[in-house]
Structure 1
Amino acid sequence: MSFFGFGSGADIDIILDGADSRKQAEIKTEEGRKEKHSLYYDGESVSGKVNVTMKKPGTKLEHQGVKIEFIGQIELYYDRGNHHEFSSIVKELARPGELMQNATYSFEFVQVEKPYESYTGANVKLRYFLRVTLVKRISDLVKERDIIVHTLSTYPEMNNSIKMEVGIEESLHIEFEYNKSKYHLKDVIVGKIYFLLVRIKIKHMELAIIKRETTGSGPNTFNDNETIAKYEIMDGAPVRGESIPIRLFLSGYDLTPTMRDINKKFSVKYYLNLVLVDEEERRYFKQQEIVLWRKGEKVRRQIQQPASVPSTISNVASPEETSPTANDVEK
């Protein structure tokens, strides 16, 4: 291809400002692997440089212009031919001309809106990326670089506990209570289960966190349930009046915030699933939806005392970083 003049002729690299010091975050690929990319939040500017490196110094590369795009995109796996862009900003880096040597172009997308959280699921992917295109007559040169976006939410003001009853007439009657209905991703679920009537032989009881991903609409609606966590909270037959404590730490699991009707394309909801299994392997369960949200991290800063006071340095926790977005949980 290069012999006939159709080769790429140059390499393109996208360098983000502060990439070495910026926090990295992980996200799953469609194949289930984990990738790390630079982490951004809604309203943050995205800036950097684009380097175009000539493969053969001294050669000439004609182009019809160089542009960079900031793109937010949703891809439904059952409709891969259509990419739904909810955010698209284009900036021109160079007008049509010729490249005789390596070139560097600066770019900045100021306070760019990023309303949704990056997500890779069973049937859908939401990604943000930068795309540089060097336009040529026959075959464009294209380079993409992904970033990860997290949406932060404020602490829910109303956070009622969950209290429910479940039972089988004249055979089983239990009450269960969870301390809250909304939890941040590093939170702890605390609860209790009360046995008011037990006339069946229960072998064990388990609690699971279920993630339900819903994509599409109408006849093209797809639901995928994934068990994120499951652990046994009781082994053996309970007696009437017994109380079983629940304490489940969320920080050890791969969770995302609850997502409701994202760009009218998909939703992600979480449920606590309480399951009782009797000695005949019959299963009795009760499911309750919970809301998950991402809490801003505390940022520590150093404050220097005035010169008139003996010099000391103290670490003071600043207010929690919160940036409510369109994906904010219910308050």
Structure 2
Amino acid sequence: MSEKSNFVDQIRVFCRSGHGGAGSKHFMRTKFNPKAGPDGGDGGRGAHIILRGNKNLWTLLHLRYHKNILAENGESGSGNNSTGRSGKDIYIDVPLGTIAFDEETGEKEAEILEDGQEVILMKGGRGGLGNARFATPTNQAPEHAQPGEPGAEGYKILELKVLADVGLVGFPNAGKSTLLSVITAAKPKIADYAFTTLSPQLGMVEYRDGKSFCIADLPGIIEGAAEGRGLGHRFLRHIERNSALLFLIPADSKDHRKEFEILLNELEEYNPELLEKDIVIAISKSDMLDDELKAAISKELPVEYPHLFISSVTQQGLKELKDLLWQILNRPVD
């Protein structure tokens, strides 16, 4: 399977929770008393549909084959005050960072951020009460029992936003995949043409003393991404969750500051809150620069953001980059 097809970050599923079972309208019959009183049991609850976080998943691909999720109904109650069996709940395992929306209302209904976290996406209907529940001193033989409540049904949109500590931002060909392959154990596709990365690549950066942090190479941004051109919105969705953003600008860019400002503007257009994250600028492919050129590029860059010169090929500046990112991610919160 190609990389494009096995990273699925949005999926539409039809869900139907279970109907509640009907309460029983039953009367006890004994040898000496054919109408010994009501003993109809309650109906069982319809099955819930529950989202559950699973840290071992990184895509919604497995749900492509389960587009209809239909939960069991509760069983009806019966005589002898027997309650019907409840429907068996259905669990949908999803990667951390999954959000569920109702397609009709657009309302966000669940957000899964932790392993093992469970959220009821759709409640099953309650079981109806049996006639034994309606007996009173004045009505000792009620002919009435409740039907079960219906379950719910509708289309849900599940969307994945990658959970990584650092998001790599840059135009296609900025060298993001190469950097990721050098500083993490990830093995992204690397080629010298735009849009090699069509889906987020996650990698763990091994830091000192067994510590590590997660970095994501996000699909290349192009001007106009905020209006939804190119891979725009899919890409920007994943940035929302990153704690820090690493802007990668190649050394051979015609105008380093302009390239940075275009990228920054795309993020601001999409969601101004993104600019509140920590931002680091790395000038990639720096093995082709001498000290004089580095000094000239440094003057171009905005002073409010730290910048480093790196080369994935010669490993120049990578240790300093890891140190800086680690410090930012582990800064004490005020």
Normalized against structure 2, the TM-score is what?
Answer: 0.25
**With structure 1 as the length reference, what TM-score do the two structures score?**
0.25
* Higher helix content, 1 or 2: 2
Q: Which structure is higher in strand share?
A: 1
